[in-house]
Amino acid sequence: MNSFTYFRTDAVDTAVRERASEPTAKFIAGGTNLLDLMKENVEHPTHLIDITRLPLTTISDNVDGGLRLGALVTNADTAYNEQVIQRYPLLSQAILAGASPQLRNMATDGGNLLQRTRCYYFYDTATPCNKREPGSGCSALNGYNRIHAILGASNHCIATHPSDMCVALAALEAEVRVTGSNGERTIPFADFHRLPGDTPNIDNTLEPGELITAIDLPARGFPEYFQYLKLRDRASYAFALVSVAAALEMEGGTITAARIALGGVAHKPWRKPEAEAALVGKPANKENFQAAAELLLAGAQGYEHNAFKIELAKRVIVRALGQAAKLEPTA
Amino acid sequence: MSTPLVTNTIGKPINRVDGVEKVTGKAKYAAEFNVPDLAYGVVISSAITKGKIKSFDASDALSLEGVLQVFTHENRPKLAWFDISYKDQDAPPGAPFRPLHNATIKYSGQPIALVVAETFELARYAATLVRVEYEELTHETDLEANLHKARKPKHGVADLLKPPPPKPRGDFDRVYAEDPNKVAGRYVHSAEHHNPMELFATTVSYEKNGKLTIYDKTQGVTNSILYVTQVFNIPFSDVRVLSPYMGGGFGSGLRPQYQLFMAVMAARELKRSVRVSLTRQQMFTFGHRPATVQQVALGALADGSMNALYHDAMSETSKFEDYTEVVVNWGGQLYPPENVTLDYKLVPLDVYSPLDMRAPGGVTGMSALEVAMDELAYNLGMDPLQLRLKNYTDHDYNQNKPYSSKELRECYRQGAERFGWPSRNMEPRSMKKDHNLIGWGMATGMWEANQMPARAEAVLMVNGKLRVSSATADIGTGTYTIMTQIAADTLGLPISDVLFKLGDTDMPVAPISGGSWTAATVGTAVQTVCQEVGKSLLKLAKNMPDSLFKGAKWEDITFSDKHMRLKNDPNVAVSLQTLVDLNGGKAVRETSTGLPNALKQRNFSRATHSAVFVEVMVDEDLGTVKVTRAVTAVAGGRILNPKTARSQILGGMVWGLSKALEEESVMDHNFGRFMNHNLAEYHVAVNADIHDLDVIFVEEHDDVVNPLGVKGLGEIGIVGMPAAIANAIFHATGRRVRDLPIRLDALL
Ligand SMILES: Cc1cc2nc3c(=O)[nH]c(=O)nc-3n(C[C@H](O)[C@H](O)[C@H](O)COP(=O)(O)OP(=O)(O)OC[C@H]3O[C@@H](n4cnc5c(N)ncnc54)[C@H](O)[C@@H]3O)c2cc1C
Ligand code: SF4
């Protein structure tokens, strides 16, 4: 870890200005990811701007009938919020499938979006990694890649985005509100994270210095038919090998709307509009779920240690949709 | 002759005597001893696996105010010349690794420099500024790719505790070829790291007279002091090593780790107190449970009598030491086939030497052998438990000796009954609930019951309280508690009147705490020395005017309720307080050695046994495995404290589950480096993985192992668990998985 200076403010504009004044500064929220990366010498901010005192710690109703999550609401407070549980139970489920109670108590909603990949090589400065050091090479490509991507990867990087929360946010089509020197803007969730391409060092479409102020959930929350299903190497406290956020609207046995997002398989939560459209107007049954799964996994590519994820992902999709449709037990 | 103990506390579920200290944070660990003017050292680890350090550039680091020194092989002090000086009590044959010895890099993560500064943060920062240039050579770290290099291990003193496989007996090849029923399989196990919660750390307090007080994380302070005094050529009297608590050992502290070397070197050079703590990542840069490839073949007659056994293992070791463990011998001890071939070879690789890890070799070998037994049972169409009973023996055919005791049959019986095994339908895939296939599996566990020599001191103080000490360790097992119980019972005192201390080289010497021998070893020493105190007290009693003990011999007396009494007339009694008062105002102090009774022991084979029964639920589509319940029945001699004993077995069972389903140190052979070097990606079982665990202690009397009848319980809990789980998975799914860990992709 390098030495750094520390600054704390309770005003959003001060935080943004402070950040703009020092290009190598970083915001720090819960610190559960940033501090680890600093200790491993992966991130070296020279200046830390503590944003935990910013007035972005509430969950409130939006005029459009949606819900606004302040960027500094903790993951735990979000998951256990009455409104979230009733109107967006998928989100609550996804958050609680991640990390541990201690971490969720510290971690913030804004920070969760910006957590970095868990790729082993990214964390180990003794090995080449394009995401950490552009141009140095991707060690995972021909290395140990059990936890790596099977969709949307490039020869420059096959890392995944590790968040659970973001998978649900993608399915719910949330929007990310940000503010920077150039003012405020809103980013649709599907456009927030990006694929690695030949610049895997860039995780998302946030401009340098921009601060996430809130996450907006649209009115439609799929509270009736939903399931977040996460598969991992132990029953708790492990990142997803594959996870699925499934949300349906149904009339009788017929699907009237569907959202499916995958976690653990790509550099961003993975959605395929065709797969979702293919379910609409169809009865909720295994064959149709299987067909959607095939569409979602179209073009998937496995590597030495993760090829199993392709078949696994399909099965998890079918199971999660079955559970969302209440055709199968959730235990 | 030993007097039988008048049992007051032994056998009772006494709470840990150090429990309150631990849960209130009063118990101090090596990195928590704060001494004035402490400097902090941070270790730099090699980024390459094999080659040479071409150069260091520490100028940026040294230019920071508060950075005291950057130690490397170039500026380290003169150290002992011969390999022998670097050998510790657990050193395998070979030339031990020497930190900062020269420019040669032997393995990835090798410590190559120590940065010492006024604060920890500064040292850590400065460490990032040291530039190292390497000259890289090609490394070999892949066991599978180097199996053709397997060779017999070198012999050494390690053979005493880890005997090489016995010579073949009978004619395996011929008999196996003719056997009507046979199975053969190959078993691949990954490397694992101990990963105790407490990081390895040493705090060296540099005293005014230049003497060193060292707080070290170790499973044996004696081992640490020997290492330090030899390597640095310091007199014994100038060093004291303390380790009152250890936040988990599991074998990782059986050898002095390199932070000890680093901290002592820096303290002596800087004439200042120094602390060195390793990082979690660095916890993957010394010993580990070796990766292994095993082959097992079993043959039996149609009635289930096994007559042929083959077991070989190829295990990784470093290129500088021949680390061995007993992997293949177990079948020849546990079962009676007449045609047996056992073989054990090493493959030297560019890794650090492997290191004993809970049930070293035992859990490895039994996790193959007992899966093969299950396969054989299915091959025969015989219940797996019946197959074990059919081949039951009270004789160890490797050593050709009877067991001093072996209540394994009773383990099978009680375990099966508690679990409900008799109602099992043998057919795989015969139990199902929703998406889950349910399976029942069982396996046998076995570990040796050893005893070493150890010394202890007992002092009956003038206030009538007893203080007992021995330089052993409590690695979390409950040593403090059971030694207190033994001492209390030997002299008839309540445990509140007994204080047991350990982990200090000023105390009488004890061996490293491992191999499940501490209870037997130190327990015997404690019992012996308390008896010595008792004998001194008897002398004092005899000297009392009109003493009723005048004609009494040691055999005639007993201790209870703070009194010495005549056995045949317990009303004839004198309080210990009265006796110590007769000692001219002085405490009654004795030191003595507890020795194994070799004459008695040598005619017997001595071992602990267990039977493990497991239920799993396997999601048929997703491959996830949940161990819904497990019962372990243990025959482990006398149980001193059912509470601490049960915790030991539970801990072993949890680890067995973890080993079976989760644990793997993943090496990327492109780099020769363990890559999942943190606790987020090195998976150990968490609470959510653990469901119903049950422990049974079967009664077992054994006066051969030691006078206390204790066999030790540290390892036995883990041994049978992985095989039982693998067998249950077979029963659930019909899939025979032989490699560990078994993760969901193996079952898709
Ligand atoms: C052992 C472990 C296991 C975990 N397991 C899981 C898991 O299973 N599933 C899962 O989803 N997550 C898991 N996590 C990750 C955890 O959810 C994230 O670390 C956490 O959400 C990050 O939030 P934070 O507030 O602590 O972010 P910080 O560490 O404070 O910040 C992370 C990054 O975001 C930036 N940042 C923070 N807030 C803002 C903002 N408002 N605007 C702009 N930039 C900002 C910071 O500059 C930094 O770059 C795990 C973490 C650990 C350590
Ligand atoms: S997958 Fe991405 S993060 Fe991992 S080594 Fe390759 S470039 Fe780095």
Ligand nearest to the CA of A139: 2
Task: From B226, B253, B279, give the residue that closes a domain.
Answer: B279
Q: Do B55 and B71 reside in the same domain of the chain?
A: yes
> Could you tell me if residue B379 is inside a domain?
yes
Q: What is the CATH number of the domain that holds B558?
A: 3.30.365.10
List of chain A residues whose C-beta atoms are within 8 Å of the C-beta of residue B434? 328-329, 331
In which residue are the tokens 């293949």 written?
B328
Q: Do B239 and B306 reside in the same domain of the chain?
A: no
Ligand nearest to the CA of A102: 1
Name residue B634's beta-bridge partners. B610, B697
Q: Do B440 and B473 reside in the same domain of the chain?
A: no
Q: How confident is the model at residue A330, as a pLDDT?
A: 85
- Tell me the mean pLDDT per 10 residues along chain B, length 748: 60 96 96 97 98 98 98 97 94 96 98 98 97 98 98 89 96 98 98 97 96 98 98 97 96 97 98 98 98 98 98 98 98 98 98 98 98 98 98 97 98 98 98 97 97 97 98 95 97 96 97 91 97 98 94 96 95 96 96 95 97 98 98 97 97 98 98 97 97 98 96 96 98 98 97
CB contact under 8 A, A235 and B124: no
Burial (Cβ within 10 Å: 0-12, 13-18, ≥19) of residue B230: middle
- Give every CB contact of residue B331 below 8 A, 6+ residues apart in sequence: B296, B309, B311, B337, B340, B342, B365, B369
Q: How confident is the model at residue B2, as a pLDDT?
A: 44
Q: Do B185 and B261 reside in the same domain of the chain?
A: no
Over B44-107, what HEC string results?
EECCCCCEEEEEEECHHHHHCCCEEEEECCCCCCCCCCCHHHHCCCCCCCECCCCCCCCCEECC
Does a cis peptide bond (omega within 30 degrees of 0) precede residue B165?
no
In which residue are the tokens 């990954």 written?
B190
Task: From B547, B574, B595, give the residue that closes a domain.
Answer: B595
Q: Which CATH number fits domain A5-53: 3.40.80.10, 3.40.50.720, 3.40.50.300, 3.30.43.10?
A: 3.30.43.10
Tokens representing B362? 């035992």
Q: Which residue's CA is the nearest one to ligand 1's atom 51?
A: A99
Q: Do B637 and B688 reside in the same domain of the chain?
A: yes
A285 to A216, A310, B238, B326, B684: CA distances (angstroms): 32, 21, 78, 54, 37
Under 8 Å between Cβ of B320 and B110: no
**Measured between alpha carbons, how far is B111 from B43 in angstroms, rounded to an integer?**
6
Atom of ligand 1 nearest to the CA of A75: 21
Q: Do B93 and B185 reside in the same domain of the chain?
A: no
Count of alpha carbons within 13 angstroms of residue A217, beta-carbon side: 30
Range of the domain at B550: 19-26+452-595
Shortest distance, CA A88 to any CA of chain B (angstroms): 25
Q: Which residues of B are catalytic?
A: 715
> Could you tell me if residue B10 is inside a domain?
no
Ligand nearest to the CA of A199: 2
CB contact under 8 A, B670 and A139: yes
Picking from B362, B347, B591, B558, the residue whose alpha carbon sits closest to that of residue B457 is B591
Compute the residue count for chain A: 331
Among B128, B675, B690, B742, pick the best mutation site for testing chain A contact (most A Cβ within 10 A).
B675
Q: Do B210 and B187 reside in the same domain of the chain?
A: no
Q: Do B156 and B112 reside in the same domain of the chain?
A: no
- Angle (deg, nearest 10), helices B258-270 and B221-231: 50
Could you say which residues from 108 to 167 on chain A have a Cβ atom under 8 Å away from some Cβ of chain B? 118, 120-121, 123-127, 139, 142-144, 146-147
Shortest distance, CA A315 to any CA of chain B (angstroms): 7
Q: How confident is the model at residue B156, as a pLDDT?
A: 83
Query: In the CATH scheme, what architecture does the domain A225-324 have?
Result: 2-Layer Sandwich (3.30)
- The alpha carbons of chain B give a radius of gyration, in whole angstroms, of 27
ipTM exceeding the 0.90 mark: yes
User: Rounded to an integer, what is the distance from CA B204 to the centroid of its chain?
Assistant: 26
Q: Nearest Cβ partner of A319 from B622, B670, B678?
A: B622
**Measured between alpha carbons, how far is B485 from B528 in angstroms, rounded to an integer?**
14
CATH 3.30.390.50 domain range(s) in chain A: 225-324
Shortest distance, CA B737 to any CA of chain A (angstroms): 17
In which residue are the tokens 């949330």 written?
A174
CB contact under 8 A, A124 and B687: no
Q: How confident is the model at residue B4, as a pLDDT?
A: 45
Q: How confident is the model at residue B7, as a pLDDT?
A: 59
- Tell me the mean pLDDT per 10 residues along chain A, length 331: 95 97 97 97 97 98 97 98 98 98 98 98 98 98 98 98 98 98 97 98 97 98 98 97 98 97 98 98 98 98 98 98 95 68
Q: What is the CATH number of the domain that holds B57?
A: 3.90.1170.50
DSSP 8-state secondary structure symbol assigned to residue B509? P
Among B142, B279, B280, B622, pick the best mutation site for testing chain A contact (most A Cβ within 10 A).
B622
Q: How confident is the model at residue B96, as a pLDDT?
A: 97
B194 to A104, B216, B250, B504, B506: CA distances (angstroms): 27, 17, 6, 24, 29
Strands in B461-584 per DSSP E? 466-470, 498-502, 557-560, 563-566, 569-575
Question: Which residue of A40, A43, A115, A117 sits with most ligand 2 atoms within 8 Å of its CB, as the best mutation to test the pocket?
Answer: A117
A104 CA from centroid of ligand 1 (Å): 9
What is the number of domains present in chain B? Answer: 3
> Could you tell me if residue B3 is inside a domain?
no
CB contact under 8 A, A144 and B47: no
Q: Nearest Cβ partner of A312 from B45, B687, B748?
A: B748
Angle at B352 between CA B350 and CA B353, to 5 degrees: 110
Interface contact A318, partner B, CB < 8 A: yes
A126 CA from centroid of ligand 2 (Å): 13
Tokens representing A58? 């509430």
> Could you tell me if residue B168 is inside a domain?
yes
**Measured between alpha carbons, how far is A165 from A84 in angstroms, rounded to an integer?**
13
A298 CA from centroid of ligand 1 (Å): 30
Interface contact A195, partner B, CB < 8 A: no
CATH 3.30.43.10 domain range(s) in chain A: 5-53
Question: Which residue of A37, A119, A198 sits with most ligand 2 atoms within 8 Å of its CB, as the best mutation to test the pocket?
Answer: A119
> Could you tell me if residue B524 is inside a domain?
yes
Q: Do B168 and B40 reside in the same domain of the chain?
A: no
A131 CB within 6 A, ligand 2: yes
* Neighbour count for residue B631 (Cβ, 10 Å): 25
Q: Do B687 and B721 reside in the same domain of the chain?
A: yes
> Could you tell me if residue B4 is inside a domain?
no
List of chain A residues whose C-beta atoms are within 8 Å of the C-beta of residue B745? 308, 312
* Neighbour count for residue A140 (Cβ, 10 Å): 32
> Could you tell me if residue B6 is inside a domain?
no
Q: Do B245 and B157 reside in the same domain of the chain?
A: no
Picking from B526, B715, B722, B720, the residue whose alpha carbon sits closest to that of residue B636 is B715
- Cα nearest neighbour of B677 on chain A: A120
Q: How confident is the model at residue B39, as a pLDDT?
A: 98
Task: From B279, B298, B333, give the residue that closes a domain.
Answer: B279
> Could you tell me if residue B188 is inside a domain?
yes
CB contact under 8 A, B434 and A331: yes
Q: Do B131 and B272 reside in the same domain of the chain?
A: yes
**Measured between alpha carbons, how far is A266 from A165 in angstroms, rounded to an integer?**
15
Q: Nearest Cβ partner of A41 from B128, B622, B676?
A: B128
B141 to A120, B291, B398: CA distances (angstroms): 18, 11, 33
CB contact under 8 A, A143 and B675: yes
**Measured between alpha carbons, how far is A31 from A9 in angstroms, rounded to an integer?**
16
DSSP 8-state secondary structure symbol assigned to residue A108? B
Shortest distance, CA B279 to any CA of chain A (angstroms): 10
